[in-house]
Amino acid sequence: MTATEENTTVPGDERDGRDGRGGQNTPGPAAGAKRARLIGGPGILLVWLYGVMVVGAVSRSAVQISTQFDKAPLAYSLSAVAGLVYGFITYSLVRGGERARRAALVCCAAELAGVLVVGTWTLVEPSAFPDATVWSDYGMGYLFIPVLLPLSAMYWLRKARTAAV
């Protein structure tokens, strides 16, 4: 087993050759299936940073939506969407496996596109956002983490793919 893989079988799962009661079955077609591990090494830092961003974006948007939604509905809704995207990416990184890696890669690309579009929009037309979003000014209010994080994650996810192959 390499550092980028972990065995994903669990007791009682047909793939591990046991019937859940300690007896042996013949292994199913997915016997020995392995899931690429995405949170080894720098991936742990990505999970931690995405977790912090989930808490920051979701809590900020929840307070803003519940107390002053009429002030800047677009900005607060975008912050909530950002929090959901961060949450899905965090889940995908922890889950591991090729499907999760691809899903996280797509979400990171969408996140980066959102940061670039909203960041540019806030610079070109500041009146469109009476209050800042997580992605305003390319994430300046969050130390530019919203623009750097998807770039780092996409690099790591591509690297994790090549290491698993």
Give residue 38's pLDDT.
66
Would you put residue 97 in left (φ > 0), alpha (ψ -120 to 50) or beta?
left
* Pairing verdict, β 5-7 and 34-36: antiparallel
Closest CA to 74 of 159, 124, 135: 135
Percent of the chain with pLDDT over 70: 74
| Residue 164 confidence (pLDDT) | 61
Q: Both 20 and 97 in a single domain?
A: no
Domain that holds residue 157: 37-164
Q: Domain check: are 80 and 43 in the same one?
A: yes
How does residue 114 score in pLDDT terms, banded at 50, 70 and 90? very high
Q: Is 34 helix (H, G, I), strand (E, B) or coil?
A: strand
Residues 130 and 89 in one domain: yes
The total number of structural domains that make up the chain: 2
Residue 101 shares a structural domain with residue 47: yes
Cα 137 off chain centre by: 21
90 and 19 within one domain: no
Cβ–Cβ under 8 Å, residues 50 and 90: yes
Check if the beta carbon of residue 3 is closer than 8 Å to that of residue 40.
yes
- pLDDT classification of 54: cutoffs 50, 70, 90: very high
Q: Which of 157, 17, 14, 12 is nearest to 97 (CA)?
A: 157
Please indicate, yes or no, whether residues 74 and 17 belong to a single structural domain of this protein.
no
Q: What is the pTM of this model?
A: 0.73
Same domain, 55 and 114: yes
H/E segment holding residue 35? strand 34-36
- pLDDT single digits (tens) 128-149: 888 888 899 999 988 999 999 9
Name the band, by pLDDT with cuts 50, 70 and 90, for residue 64: very high
106 burial type by CB count under 10 A (0-12 exposed, 13-18 middle, 19+ buried): middle
pLDDT at 56 over 50: yes
Among the listed ranges 9-23, 57-71, 78-92, which one has the minimum average pLDDT value?
A: 9-23
Rounded average pLDDT over 121-125: 93
- Asked if pLDDT for residue 28 goes beyond 60, the answer is no
What's the pLDDT at 19? 47
Q: Do 26 and 48 sit in the same domain of this protein?
A: no
**Contacts of residue 30, Cβ cutoff 8 Å, sequence gap at least 6:** 14, 15
Same domain flag for 127 and 158: yes
- In this prediction, residue 35 carries a pLDDT of 59
> Is 96 in the same domain as 28?
no
Q: Structure tokens of 53? A: 């961003």
Do residue 46 and residue 62 come from a single domain?
yes
